[in-house]
């Protein structure tokens, strides 16, 4: 008897809900997305023999790789996470057509558009939350590296020996000086190309980019095997940095 009454209540509840939903395609869109999302997640879980909650957790532990020129796509069980969302949206479109037909025969297109739009926006919100968690993780990693450091320490952390060497050069040789860079780095391709830019930037006003015309005043020898061998006789070495780097200046009075 009790079961009979309870099922009566449940059926009337569902009927009321359907009647309510008929006037609120927004909610149907949300339900459409939720069901599709769970089905696709479940399929991934079954297909890759991975527990459901682990797949869900992986969705929110996607890392950010790359940067500036291109961020690499995150992966969900070794699959491009974009594909995961694309599958959901395509299924949502199909599901929206079915639901809009069930709702009413008069305004199929109108209902379909609303249901599909809400489902797509709901998918966007989940994707946004996944990426926000990735951005938050990036911030945590950056925070662990840079927080609490002085500007000098941060520069040192970022540019390592380039910064150390450039600072030492500028300390022993302040002001503008035209210089030539001698190095073993291959400056025609990365990473040498980038390092060359870093060194030019950090060294300035010691000028290795040929900014002003005029005679050379010093030699910047960086990352070069046996650097002493490349110092001409009319130059004087004013400091060494490790085995491969030094700074030499032209002896005054020498016009060669």
Partner 1 sequence: MIGSLLYSQGLPLALGYVLLLLMTRDRRLPLTLGLALGYGLGNGILCQWMFALGILGIPYSVRSIGFPLGIVLLVLSFTLYYFRKTARPLVNDDVAPPTQAFNLFHVGGLVFLLWILFFVWWNALHVPVAAWDVLSTHGMTGKILFLEASLEHRRHFPHPSYPLHVPFLMSWIAFNLGQWHEQFVKIVSPSAFMAWLFVQYHFMKRLTNAGWALLSLLFLYSSIAFVYIATTGYREMSLAFYSCTTLVLILFWHRNRNDGWLYLAGLYAGFLSFVKTEGVGYTFTYSLILVFLLRNIPLSFKEKCVRFFKFFMPAVLITSVYLVHTYFTVFRFLPKAGGKSFRLTALHFEFGPEAFARVVPVLDRISENLFLMGNWNIVWLIFFVSFIVRNKQNRPRIEFSAMAWSVAIIFFIYFIGFTFTQHHFFILKQEVALTRSIIQYLPLIVMLGTLNFYSVFNQK
Rounded Cα–Cα distance for residues 96 and 228 (Å): 75
Contact status: 176 vs partner 1 (CB under 8 A): yes
Q: Among residues 216 and 231, whose Cβ is nearest to partner 1?
A: 216
Report the residue from 198, 231, 237, 249 that binds partner 1 according to the rule CB under 8 A.
Answer: 198
Contact status: 135 vs partner 1 (CB under 8 A): yes
Least distance in angstroms from the C-beta of 131 to partner 1: 5
Q: Which of 123, 149, 102, 107 is nearest to 34 (CA)?
A: 123
Rounded Cα–Cα distance for residues 163 and 166 (Å): 5
Rounded Cα–Cα distance for residues 41 and 48 (Å): 11
Q: Among residues 212 and 252, whose Cβ is nearest to partner 1?
A: 212
Report the residue from 140, 171, 188, 213 that binds partner 1 according to the rule CB under 8 A.
Answer: 213
Contact status: 116 vs partner 1 (CB under 8 A): yes
Report the residue from 69, 106, 188, 225 that binds partner 1 according to the rule CB under 8 A.
Answer: 69
Q: Give the strand pairing for 177-183 and 70-72.
A: unpaired
Options 3-11, 127-135, 179-187, 244-252: segment touching partner 1 (CB under 8 A): 127-135
Contact status: 114 vs partner 1 (CB under 8 A): yes
User: DSSP of 18-68, one letter per residue?
Assistant: HHHHHT-HHHHHHHHHHHHHHHHHHHHHHHTT--HHHHHHHHT-PPPEEET
Least distance in angstroms from the C-beta of 160 to partner 1: 11
Report the residue from 28, 99, 120, 122 that binds partner 1 according to the rule CB under 8 A.
Answer: 120
Q: Give the strand pairing for 235-241 and 79-80.
A: unpaired
Report the residue from 15, 24, 197, 228 that binds partner 1 according to the rule CB under 8 A.
Answer: 197
Rounded Cα–Cα distance for residues 235 and 172 (Å): 15
Contact status: 210 vs partner 1 (CB under 8 A): yes
Q: Among residues 81 and 248, whose Cβ is nearest to partner 1?
A: 81
Q: Which of 249, 231, 245 is nearest to 162 (CA)?
A: 245
Contact status: 117 vs partner 1 (CB under 8 A): yes
Specify the DSSP class assigned to residue 229: G
Cβ atoms 29, 117 nearer than 8 A? yes
Q: Which helix (H) or strand (E) holds 181?
A: strand 177-183
Which spans of this chain sit near partner 1 (rule: CB under 8 A)? 64-74, 80-82, 85-86, 89, 93, 110, 113-114, 116-117, 120-121, 123-124, 127-128, 131-132, 134-136, 139, 142, 146-147, 151, 154-155, 158-159, 176, 194, 197-198, 200-201, 204-205, 209-213
């Amino acid at each position: 008897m009790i079961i009979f009454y309870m099922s009566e209540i449940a059926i009337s509840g569902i009927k009321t809900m359907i009647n309510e939903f008929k006037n609120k395609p927004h909610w149907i869109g949300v339900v459409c997305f939720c069901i599709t999302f769970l089905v696709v997640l479940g399929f991934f879980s079954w297909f890759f023999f991975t527990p459901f909650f682990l797949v869900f957790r992986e969705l929110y532990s996607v890392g950010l790789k790359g940067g500036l020129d291109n961020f690499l796509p995150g992966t969900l069980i070794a699959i491009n996470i974009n594909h995961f969302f694309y599958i959901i949206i395509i299924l949502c479109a199909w599901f929206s057509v079915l639901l809009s037909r069930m709702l009413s025969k008069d305004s199929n297109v109108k209902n379909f558009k609303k249901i599909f739009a809400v489902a797509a926006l709901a998918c966007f919100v989940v994707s946004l939350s996944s990426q926000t968690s990735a951005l938050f993780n990036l911030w945590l990693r950056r925070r662990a590296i840079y927080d609490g450091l002085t500007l000098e320490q941060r520069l040192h952390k970022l540019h390592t020996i380039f910064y150390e060497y450039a600072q030492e050069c500028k300390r022993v040789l302040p002001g503008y000086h035209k210089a030539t860079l001698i190095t073993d780095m291959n400056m025609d391709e990365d990473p040498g190309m980038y390092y060359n830019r870093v060194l030019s930037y950090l060294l300035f006003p010691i000028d290795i980019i040929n900014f002003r015309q005029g005679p050379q005043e010093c030699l910047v020898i960086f990352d070069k095997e046996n650097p002493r061998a490349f110092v001409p006789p009319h130059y004087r070495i004013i400091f060494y940095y490790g085995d491969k780097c030094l700074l030499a200046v032209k002896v005054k009075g020498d016009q060669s």
